[in-house]
Amino acid sequence: MATKSMATKSAPRKAPAAKKNPSLMTKIGDAVEAAKAKAQEVGASIAKRAEGAATEARREVRKAATVVEKKAKTAKAQVQRKVRAVEADAKKAPARKAAK
């Protein structure tokens, strides 16, 4: 028969492993992990800056396109005015010759 003292007895405990000095490989691994994290942060920062620069470039392109479009429209209107004036003069020219 089991006695009360045997029933409460548990398996022997293992002493917790004490890490006084991490091994060289552990130190290298930690350094590599820290470098990876830093590289990710820097990469994310660069990506944000590039995205901002691309947005700014698109905005500038739209502005330039608008300016060019306006200038082209103005030049077209000027040419059309000159054409109309020349046509009007051409129509009047035969009448002038006939009047002489």
The full DSSP string for 65-78 is HHHHHHHHHHHHHH
Q: Is residue 11 part of a domain?
A: no
Ranges 20-24, 35-39, 52-56: which has the least confidence: 20-24
Which residue did the predictor score with more confidence, 8 or 62? 62
Domain count, the chain: 1
pLDDT of 26 higher than 70: yes
**13 phi-psi bin (left φ>0, alpha ψ -120 to 50, beta other):** beta
Which pLDDT does position 82 carry in this prediction? Answer: 96
Q: Is residue 15 part of a domain?
A: no
Q: Is residue 16 part of a domain?
A: no
Domain extent for 34: 26-99
Which pLDDT does position 94 carry in this prediction? Answer: 73
Q: Is residue 13 part of a domain?
A: no
* Cα separation of the two ends of the chain: 149
* Virtual torsion, Cα 65, 67, 68, 74, nearest 10 deg: 140
Q: Is residue 67 part of a domain?
A: yes
Q: Is residue 1 part of a domain?
A: no
Which pLDDT does position 11 carry in this prediction? Answer: 57
pLDDT band for position 91 (50/70/90)?
Answer: confident
Q: Mean pLDDT, the chain, as a whole number?
A: 84
Q: Is residue 37 part of a domain?
A: yes
